[in-house]
Structure 1
Amino acid sequence: MSRLVVVSNRLADPRKPAAGGLAVALGETLKSTGGLWFGWSGAVVKDGTPGEGELRVHQAGPVTLAEIDLCQEDHDAYYRGYANGVLWPVFHYRLDLANLESGYLSGYRRVNHLFARKLMPLLKPDDLIWIHDYHLIPLAAELRAMGCDNRIGFFLHIPLPPQQILAAIPSHEWLMRALFAYDLVGFQSEADLLNFSHYVKAEATAETIGAGQFRAFNSTVQAGAFPIGIDVNEFQRLGRAHEAVDTYENTRTEYSRRRLLIGVDRLDYSKGLPQRIRAFNELLREYPENQHSATLLQVASPSREDVDAYADIQHELESLCGAINGNYGDFDWMPIRYIHRTVARKRLPGLYRACDVALVTPLRDGMNLVAKEFIAAQDEADPGVLVLSRFAGAAEQLTQALLVNPYDIPGTAQAIQRALQMPLAERQARHAALLENVRKYDVHWWCGQFLQTLAAVR
């Protein structure tokens, strides 16, 4: 078996996996092949030289970890600037928030070149290389330029927007051409794959030479949809641990007179949080029987708070929650419990299990694993209901959820009301179908399917 080499923006230690994370997905294969994981250490060297960084290699059991530091200038241009200031907003359909006039592209290319230069001496001829996410789109092209002829796969964890949105990026031709240096490119959904197909045919006059195979720029690439999943068994084991059980029991006791709704998100403009709060407000106004009955627990983990767009949405969210609590709240009931901090992962299964409805309503999301975690955490005899945005990648698989358009505030409120009133038999039937899908297409299926396809690409 070929050794697996994983490259991601941030290095992960497979000895310390978080259930459902990338380390869980890749840990077994890395261990069985004596694999290598390469990535940024997370450290920023204030006085470092651009395009340079110290490489440190050490062992984590049978897995080799190779980490590199970035200097401040490279971090600001590559990570904060181009990856998260240009690619993240554009790929989430937010051209209005993208800094398209910036000079960050040179830093993005410089760091990808640095990664390739440091990785190349560590490679073996038969290594299978798997590169992850939007930070590292040009990495295969950099490796090819240095003589690497290994099989290289790429997986995009975030959405790929339509051609017209992609074409707004000044360097879009170079960026998409870089994908043709890969043997296999994977997306979260069939919609993303279709967007890729439309782009390369319209912008690069690519020729379709087989199912998911495209030829352009004198190269051929295989593309496919590989929806990522969670480790269901691991997450359910986490749910049986004392931290999750305590959280469940405490939550049920604290809110014994309430119907609980849950939202767990990073504080990001892609997650549709203001729209969700407005829909909850609509629920209370149009269906007043939910007053003094329904409580929304909204967790919004801090994220990039030094960026103006994130600070703006935080202020908007706090204002909305305060207004609703002020208008509807009473001495013994607050409609919204807003938590602006990260909740420990070991508590999440208990929190999910204690709630009657999950609101997973992003404006755009590559997949959204909270939806799958909520399903895995439920009591099969008395399960909660998932209200899911049609614009999350998960919606392609989780069709038994109540699918909503998060921009349609009244429609989302109607779906929440339906979820709160859904009979037990319907809840059980929907949950059984959802859980079957989540189990079948789990994180191990995702990993195996991608690597098998990569190994078989001709």
Structure 2
Amino acid sequence: MSRLVVISNRVAVPTADAAGNQGGLAVALLSALRENGGIWFGWSGETTPEFTGDIRTTQGGGVTTATIDLEEQDIDEYYNGYANRTLWPLFHYRIDLTEFERDFEGGYRRVNERFADTVMPLVEDDDLVWVHDYHLIPLGRELRRRGMKNRLGFFLHTPWPPARLLTSLPSHHKLVESMFAYDVVGFHTEDWLDSFRRYVVDIMGGTIDEDGCATVGDRTVRTIVAPIGIDTAEFEAAAASPEARFAHDRMHMSSTGRSLIVGVDRLDYSKGLRERLLGYERFLANNPDRRALVYLLQIAPPSRADVDTYQEIRSDLDALSGRINGEYADIDWVPIRYVNRGYPRSELAGIYRAARIALVTPLRDGMNLVAKEYVAAQDPEDPGVLILSSFAGAAAQLKEAVLINPYSAEDMADAITAALEMPRAERIRRWQAMIENVRAEDVFWWCRLFLDALEGREVVGDTAQIG
């Protein structure tokens, strides 16, 4: 069996202390690496005065990780710049926030070249190489230029924007052209895959054959839909852990009989947090008799603090939550508990189980695993209600959630009302349909699906479709 080489911007180093807090992607990739052998390569998160290409290797839990340090300029231009101020907003349909700077693009190209130069000596002839996410789109091209003949796969964890938006990127043609260096390119949903194929046909003059392979000139790439899942069994077990029970009981004791509505998101404009607070405020305005019967716990750990846009989001949400609390709070009740910190996964599982409603309402999201974690954490005898944005990739699988337009305050307010009034039998019926999907199409299923495609095997899935 071939070894697996995983390449991503950051690396999850397996340690005993981190085991309970690793995300689903890390769990799946570490599992695949243990099964196949291989290396996980990426940036250490540390800076160096001058790039040397020195590799720091760590071995633990049957997995080898290899990391490099980057220069401050690399981080400013590649990570904070092109990745998170150009591609991230553009791929989430926020062209109004997209910054087009030549220096950013230069840094992005330079770091991808440095990744290629550094990882090449680590790759053996028969290895499968799997590159992840928007930070490293051109990496496959750089590896091919250095003579790599291995099977190369790329998976995009964000949405792929419509052609009319992508063409606003000055180097859009070159960026997409670089993806044809891969053998397989994967997306979470049919929508994101269709947008990619439309660009190939309409902008590049390419073709899509009946097997879903995209061809431009003499280059062909296999394109697939492979929706990522969570480690469902682990999360269900976490929801029954002592830490989760303590968090669950703590929420109930502090709620004094009120229904908990929960939101858990990184502090990011794509998550629709402002729109969520305004929708919740509309619910309070429309239902004065219900005000003191509910409260919203919004957990929003900061991210990308060095990017100005994210500093503005935090200030805006601080002010908005304060205004809503000032207008609607009573001496024994505050409508919003707004927390800017993260919590271990076991505690989150207990909070999810305590919540009557989860608001998962991004304006645009490649998948959104919080929605699946909420489903996995529920009490089968008395599950809560998932209110889910139609614009999250998860909506394609979790069709029994209460699907809403996150831009509409009225839609969100009505959904909260409907969720609070929903009979237990209906809540159980909806939950059972969703948990079946979350269990069947978990993160290990996703990992096998992509690697089977990368090895050239025929793959059959109920939801995922191999093009």
TM norm structure 1: 0.97
What is the Cα deviation at residue 314 of structure 1? 1.3
Provide the secondary structure at the position in 2 that maps to 1:244.
helix
Match of 2:29 among 17, 26, 29: 26
Aligned to 2:239: 239
Letter in 1 for 2:50: G
Q: Does the 8 Å contact 2:14/2:61 carry over to 1?
A: no
Letter in 2 for 1:156: L
Letter in 2 for 1:376: A
Q: Does the 8 Å contact 2:24/2:229 carry over to 1?
A: no
Mapped partners of 1:450, 1:14: distance in 2: 22
Provide the secondary structure at the position in 1 that maps to 2:265.
strand
What 5-or-longer segments of structure 2 have no aligned partner? 459-467
Provide the secondary structure at the position in 2 that maps to 1:224.
strand
What is the Cα deviation at residue 102 of structure 1? 3.9
Mapped partners of 1:104, 1:331: distance in 2: 50
What is the Cα deviation at residue 209 of structure 1? 2.4
Mapped partners of 1:258, 1:430: distance in 2: 23
Letter in 2 for 1:237: A
Alpha carbons of structure 1 residues 135 and 85: separation in structure 2 relative to 1, 3 Å: same
Mapped partners of 1:306, 1:71: distance in 2: 15
Mapped partners of 2:181, 2:224: distance in 1: 16
Q: What are the within-5 Å matches in structure 2 for residues 97-246 of structure 1?
A: 97-246=97-246
Aligned to 1:307: 307
Aligned to 2:354: 354
What is the Cα deviation at residue 304 of structure 1? 1.7
Q: What are the within-5 Å matches in structure 2 for residues 47-66 of structure 1?
A: 47-49=49-51, 52-66=52-66
Aligned to 1:276: 276
Alpha carbons of structure 1 residues 58 and 355: separation in structure 2 relative to 1, 3 Å: closer
1:26-72: CA deviations, max 9, x gaps?
Answer: 22221122211111111111x214xx432123322432211111011
Provide the secondary structure at the position in 1 that maps to 2:103.
coil
1:325-373: CA deviations, max 9, x gaps?
Answer: 1111111100011111112222100000001000000000010000000
Mapped partners of 1:414, 1:32: distance in 2: 47
1:38 lines up with 2:41 in the alignment: yes
Provide the secondary structure at the position in 2 that maps to 1:57.
strand
Mapped partners of 1:12, 1:340: distance in 2: 23
Aligned to 2:291: 291
Q: Does the 8 Å contact 1:183/1:457 carry over to 2?
A: no
Letter in 1 for 2:394: A
Alpha carbons of structure 1 residues 121 and 53: separation in structure 2 relative to 1, 3 Å: closer
Letter in 2 for 1:392: A
Give the RMSD, CA atoms, in angstroms. Answer: 1.3
Letter in 1 for 2:409: I
Mapped partners of 1:48, 1:93: distance in 2: 35
TM norm structure 2: 0.95
1:422 lines up with 2:425 in the alignment: no
Mapped partners of 1:83, 1:377: distance in 2: 33
1:131-185: CA deviations, max 9, x gaps?
Answer: 0000000111001001101001000001111001111110111110011000000
Provide the secondary structure at the position in 2 that maps to 1:53.
coil
Mapped partners of 1:19, 1:252: distance in 2: 27
Aligned length: 455
* Runs of 4+ off more than 4 Å: none
What is the Cα deviation at residue 19 of structure 1? 4.9
Provide the secondary structure at the position in 1 that maps to 2:300.
strand
Q: Does the 8 Å contact 2:80/2:304 carry over to 1?
A: no
Aligned to 2:463: none
Aligned to 1:364: 364
